[in-house]
Structure 1
């Protein structure tokens, strides 16, 4: 359900979601509507990431997870994939100084070892450069797919059982969560609010375990047009909801 812009106004003094996850969708359509190549949409989307990161941090969000590249995105045209693999290099090269000023820490989850060397190096350098920051965690899902993540977690747990480090009865929700890529986020690993832009209303293999009790917000706005006011709009809708977690 896509809710009206002014239906639930943002309240700065109300609860702010600790963890916001965003499926950044619509870069290609934004470019096509402006008769530009698709890569122009991805470039503009990178500027949106910068704006939203700063604003989320200043609002008091603890973790901002952005779905940057999925394990399925390798199926896209080679030129577009190459551009997308260069984006983290350009992004971190220009934005890390701002992240340090904002006290934002970079985290990346996904199958990073499968990335091109230049992309992997840029990611590792950004993590290293911001490792001492104590504010919001900017968590990129890069070469990430939730089903693959859960398969790897299952294999990890099975190996521990096989090696007598864990019994079957000791496998709990907590055990499983600790085996997932989000375990480094600690108590904030499950998103409070999931946002998807561009009007699509599907999850696209993103954080399937972690969003069991997340609130969803879908907007028609394309990612390059997503700004601070739209983020506050989504949070306003979140603030209007009563999260019951299966209770009353």
Structure 2
């Protein structure tokens, strides 16, 4: 009986922390603090009760823009995948918007909506909707024509085709779209908060840099990476496992 190969994924984060600690010995703590100093800074923010409002603000902004982008991307991506005419119309617009860095929209959204929730959610939406639309469109286009023709021969109408043919076959592309969209949205959120917010993780990083508090800057960076890693591990991988089980039945 062959034993399963051990996974070394558990060692990557401790290795990163060890490397960080070794590099930090070359610098004074006000430039590059040790991991334990950043942990102490995090504990101080928790003890003061200041950390949760920043985390809550960032997560609410991320979820608002991300879920709005999901709805728009599903409608646009499925329609573009099914309709060549709409796909031809949408392609130049997608190329145009994807060429513009999402953060470039932040000054305009702040002029329109002012500082705060709506302006940052708008930037997140713009960052996520185009790559998600393309991923879903590609997934729908990859569906074999024979499956569609067979369903039509059996009498399936347009709604039944969407539910029983297009939706199951495009699930892998949808999961990819969620991953890509979340990462793009999360990056845009942090960047937008750094230039136009009074609260949030991006604000923590920006303010820490302005006052020369490297521990606060690194605390924000660690939180950014940790939340992205938790989203990947606890959300997207579970979604992928569920659709694999669902498709096998």
Give the TM-score normalised by the residue count of structure 1: 0.26
Higher strand share: 1
> Larger relative contact order (C-alpha < 8 A, sep ≥ 6)?
1
Higher helix share: 2
Q: Which has the larger radius of gyration?
A: 2
